[in-house]
Amino acid sequence: MHYQLFYWSGIQGRGEFVRLALEDAGAPYDDIAREQGDDVMVQYLDGVHDGPLPFAPPFLKAGRLLIAQTANILHHLGPPLDLVPDSESRRLLAQQLQLTIADLVAEVHDSHHPIAGSLYYEEQRSEAVRRAADLRETRLPKYLDYFEQVLERSGGHHPLHAHSYVDLSLFQLMSGLEYAFPRAMLRIGRQLPLLRALKERVAQRPRVAAYLASPRRLPFNESGIFRHYPELDDPA
Amino acid sequence: MHYQLFYWSGIQGRGEFVRLALEDAGAPYDDIAREQGDDVMVQYLDGVHDGPLPFAPPFLKAGRLLIAQTANILHHLGPPLDLVPDSESRRLLAQQLQLTIADLVAEVHDSHHPIAGSLYYEEQRSEAVRRAADLRETRLPKYLDYFEQVLERSGGHHPLHAHSYVDLSLFQLMSGLEYAFPRAMLRIGRQLPLLRALKERVAQRPRVAAYLASPRRLPFNESGIFRHYPELDDPA
């Protein structure tokens, strides 16, 4: 299967969770908006095509299927890319963990946009400072302790006992958080040895390492979800 | 299968999407926290049991499975409760739509808690007024127009051409929004004839109607996700 991935061309964003799965599996895919421009993608949001309407990127074309919602795309890709264990109960657990990652990603986004996605960061900076403080003190520790416990309960290496798309997504989550909140993550990370080790292992997987070193991996930047604004991190 | 649903006893919240599916299907279930207290549920969050750890309610016990994340629970329940069409592509589309509903539900929650879930509404009221204005002017129309279009493209009656858990969730979404933002929904609803008709049809399904008239249906209240604060609605 040759896949077509649709996601904004200038950021890693939510598309990166799908991209990492495709790259780690060595699956052939076109990154449509990066190759042909965002406008080609936006036509699908406007509904010029037949079939299901996506609300937002990322979405994936896989043969006749058009699939939206990051976790849902990974749920679909898991079996053909060998990125999820075979049983129904494991697929459900993978999806449960992926959706919990997605919840945290949404909270990270809102830490720099607590009032409105349609406003600039600068128009909601003081609210962002308050929300980011709660994220660093309450939410990040709660979510990351949870994932650390999940790893502990599954033997320490993989949340699903075997490599899966959840490992890749936890790598991306930790990478983004360390980019956005380097000081807070240094503090919180001391309690997360299993998550930090998982992140290192994923980074060393041959296809992931090759991808990260390639121009296909966009750098984190301040248009994406994980943004580094020093005033939103722990005080120096 | 006799199910066990775990969700906070005092609110509809995210648990209501699961409850509606169980009720509409006439599936036997225990509503554990309402019958035995929230503490019994919290033990699972603390990980006293074997098996997968839920991050938050709702979660469902189905035989040996313990499944968390609302959309994931519905994905699992769809086939045995006959609440999703049979094909893999339809199941993916149902999940995509459910996850988009979940995204809006999270935005509705944050409209009264834009800074921190750990603070009282009164401690973030002025920020809530700003965020709710954006929700009413930008986000609600965008999401609801999307669902209206999905209905249009599928023939007008059911997003999946047949009754499914997505119909039930759209009913709950519309009901909650009309409770929280009656003035804004009167305005926005004029453009949403298909969604409003779907909501009425679902309310008249015999088992749903019986459930809504029973004491099992908690009223909406100001501890839940859909809260009615007049200052967050359109001006009178």
Q: Answer whether A170's CB lies under 8 Å from A101's CB.
A: yes
Residue of B nearest to A68 (CA): B96
User: Which chain A residues touch B116 with a CB distance below 8 Å?
Assistant: 130-131, 134, 138
Residues of chain B with a CB closer than 8 angstroms to some CB in chain A: 47, 52-55, 64-65, 67-69, 71-72, 75-76, 89, 92-93, 95-96, 99-100, 103, 106, 110, 114-116, 118-119, 127, 130-131, 134, 138, 143, 146, 149-150, 153
Question: Within a domain: residue B14?
Answer: no
Helices then strands, counting H and E runs in chain A, come out as: 11, 4
Domain residues for A192?
88-205
Q: What share of chain A is helix, strand, coil (3-state, %, to 5)?
A: 55, 5, 35
Residue from the list B65, B93, B100 with its beta carbon closest to the beta carbon of A92: B65
Domain count, chain B: 1
Summarize pLDDT for A99-116 with one digit per residue, the tens: 999 999 999 999 999 999
Question: Looking at CA atoms only, how far is residue B29 from chain A in angstroms?
Answer: 20
DSSP string of B17-71? HHHHHHHHHT--EEEHHHHH-HHHHHHHHTT-SSSPPPSSS-EEEETTEEEESHH
Q: What is the ipTM of this complex?
A: 0.98
Q: Answer whether A185's CB lies under 8 Å from A177's CB.
A: yes
Summarize pLDDT for A23-60 with one digit per residue, the tens: 999 999 999 999 999 999 999 999 988 888 999 999 99
Residues of chain A with a CB closer than 8 angstroms to some CB in chain B: 47, 52-55, 64-65, 67-69, 71-72, 75-76, 89, 92-93, 95-96, 99-100, 103, 106, 110, 114-116, 118-119, 127, 130-131, 134, 138, 143, 146, 149-150, 153
Domain CATH for A195: 1.20.1050.10
Q: Mean pLDDT in chain A?
A: 97
Residue A219 to residue B89: CA distance in whole angstroms? 34
Q: Answer whether B95's CB lies under 8 Å from A69's CB.
A: yes
For chain B, 236 residues long, give each residue's pLDDT as a single digit of tens.
Answer: 999 999 999 999 999 999 999 999 999 999 999 999 999 999 999 998 888 899 999 999 999 999 999 999 999 999 999 999 999 999 999 999 999 999 999 999 999 999 999 999 999 999 999 999 999 999 999 999 999 999 999 999 999 999 999 999 999 999 999 999 999 999 999 999 999 999 999 999 999 999 999 999 999 999 999 999 999 999 99
Q: Answer whether A226's CB lies under 8 Å from A180's CB.
A: yes
Residue B27 to residue B6: CA distance in whole angstroms? 15
Question: Within a domain: residue B137?
Answer: yes
Q: What single DSSP character describes residue B87?
A: S
Question: Within a domain: residue B221?
Answer: no
Question: Within a domain: residue A70?
Answer: no
Question: Within a domain: residue B229?
Answer: no
Summarize pLDDT for A118-149 with one digit per residue, the tens: 999 999 999 999 999 999 999 999 999 999 99
Residue B190 to residue B179: CA distance in whole angstroms? 16
Put the strands of the sheet holding B3-6 in their side by side order.
B29-31, B3-6, B59-62, B65-68
pLDDT of residue A50: 85
Question: Within a domain: residue A178?
Answer: yes
User: Which chain A residues touch B54 with a CB distance below 8 Å?
Assistant: 96
